Structure 1
Amino acid sequence: MERTTGVQAYYAESAQRLGRVYESVSFESVHEALLDLLPEAPARALDVGAGTGRDAAALARRGFTVDAVEPVAELRDLAEGLHPGSGVAWRAGALPEIPGVQGPYDLVLLSAVWMHLRPEERPLAMRRLAELLAPGGILLITLRRGEPPADRQMFDIAPEEVAGHGAGAGLKLLRIVDEKADRLGREAVHWNAVALQLG
């Protein structure tokens, strides 16, 4: 996020450790309940807040043309190193504006990103994401739930709020997923996922 410098500082300082953690679980495991909603390849995908590149690289392996946007330079560098030759286009950028990114995309993915947005940023971000979608395009958002950590800005956001912002931006709700357990074994953390579609 361009204005949440504390969040960026945390991820910059923690990049190597987070790389080991994030890459220890697969795209297919993390997004198991959403895989049937992925458009058929070839298709164009955007990974917003791509982190270590796990999801972007997995989408590329599935035959997608992938743009990966990540505001933290240390994570972008790590992603490129971890996933050489993936064909992913890595670039700087952050919500709510994501300047310079050009749609339309058949798939937009935000994995563990939305909960960093302040309340006033969320409607703007959702409208921007809707603008980037192709007709019939899918937006997938995963939300970390539970008490936010003290070391970075994070909010416990209900999936129904996300669906409401989606409706306001012209997106219809396809699915809300309640993940009972954290894939990394953290007892105080659980996850929701929200799937939305344009048109």
Structure 2
Amino acid sequence: MERTSISGYVAGAEHLIPAFEAISAPDVFAHVLDFLPKHPSRIVEIGAGTGRDAAWLASQGHSLTAVEPVEKFRKAGMLLHPSPLIHWVDDRLPLLTRMLKKGERFDLVLLVAVWQHLTPEERVVAMTNLSKLLSPCGRIIMSVRHGLGLPDRECFPAPTSEAVALACQGNLKILARRSAESVQEKNRAAGVTWTWLVLAHS
């Protein structure tokens, strides 16, 4: 998916790294904290950025696979959040070729602030592949952005109803659907909102 959504992150990595790190992981997950694992679990985060969220979850004893296509973010994450519980992988949606080849299954699949960068056609493939990473009793937690993106990081309209329909087509059930304001002041001022979805196998 080498479009402006990725190239913009590559070009802006130097200023985005500290910006990502300035955001509180507990604040990001505030609306779905009750769905995060209470016991040490195997978690994969797709689009892990600098590893901010992965590090927070690893500090609770979880084992993390941090999937991130931007090399500068991966390198920053390894330096900022060195942990034997975090394993980094260079891969990307919608295909997740390397992850699926591994054949691993996870108790939790995380997708935070990524869905809007996929075209509607890519989302069909992406939802199927995300479900393939899920253990029989696992959950997917994903955030769906509503609002305009920046010119250098292309976003596509992402109606929640579309994500719900794709989940149902993939034999996933909706455990929760929660609306949230953006944790970033600039995004709130721009009218950006989010919907959090929690999915599981039907």
TM over 0.5: yes
CA contact (8 A) 1:123 1:165 kept: yes
Give the corresponding residue for 1:61: 59
Give the Cα separation in 1 of the matches to 2:37 and 2:153.
34
Letter matched to residue 123 of structure 2: R
Give the Cα separation in 1 of the matches to 2:182 and 2:33.
18
Give the corresponding residue for 2:112: 111
Give the Cα separation in 2 of the matches to 1:15 and 1:25.
15
Q: Normalising by the residue count of structure 1, what TM-score does the alignment of the two structures yield?
A: 0.93
Q: Sort the Cα spacing of 1:86 and 1:145 in 2 relative to 1 into closer, same or farther, 3 A.
A: farther
Give the Cα separation in 1 of the matches to 2:158 and 2:60.
30
Structure 1 or 2: larger helix share? 2
Counterpart pick for 1:92 among 65, 90, 98: 90
Alignment coverage as a number of residue pairs: 196
Give, in angstroms, the shift of residue 38 of structure 1.
Answer: 1.3
Please list every run of 5 or more consecutive structure 2 residues that lacks an aligned counterpart in the other structure: none
Give the corresponding residue for 2:197: 194
Give, in angstroms, the shift of residue 97 of structure 1.
Answer: 1.3
Letter matched to residue 111 of structure 1: V
Q: Sort the Cα spacing of 1:86 and 1:22 in 2 relative to 1 into closer, same or farther, 3 A.
A: farther
CA contact (8 A) 1:57 1:86 kept: no
Q: How does 1:120-139 map to 2 (within 5 A)?
A: 120-139=121-140
Give, in angstroms, the shift of residue 165 of structure 1.
Answer: 0.7
Give the Cα separation in 1 of the matches to 2:60 and 2:170.
29
Give the corresponding residue for 1:159: 160
Provide Cα deviations, 1:100-119, integer angstroms capped at 9, x if missing partner.
21321000001101110111
Q: How does 1:15-94 map to 2 (within 5 A)?
A: 15-85=13-83, 87-94=85-92
Provide Cα deviations, 1:38-74, integer angstroms capped at 9, x if missing partner.
1232211000010111111111111111101001111
What SS does the aligned partner of 2:196 have?
Answer: strand
**Does residue 1:184 correspond to 2:184, yes or no?**
yes
Give the Cα separation in 2 of the matches to 1:114 and 1:56.
18
Provide Cα deviations, 1:162-191, integer angstroms capped at 9, x if missing partner.
111111111100111111x32110211222
Q: Normalising by the residue count of structure 2, what TM-score does the alignment of the two structures yield?
A: 0.92
CA contact (8 A) 1:69 1:94 kept: yes
Give the Cα separation in 2 of the matches to 1:16 and 1:81.
14
Please list every run of 5 or more consecutive structure 1 residues that lacks an aligned counterpart in the other structure: none
Q: Supply the RMSD in Å over aligned alpha carbons.
A: 1.3
What SS does the aligned partner of 1:121 have?
Answer: helix
CA contact (8 A) 1:61 1:86 kept: no
CA contact (8 A) 1:163 1:196 kept: no
Moved over 3 A (4+): none
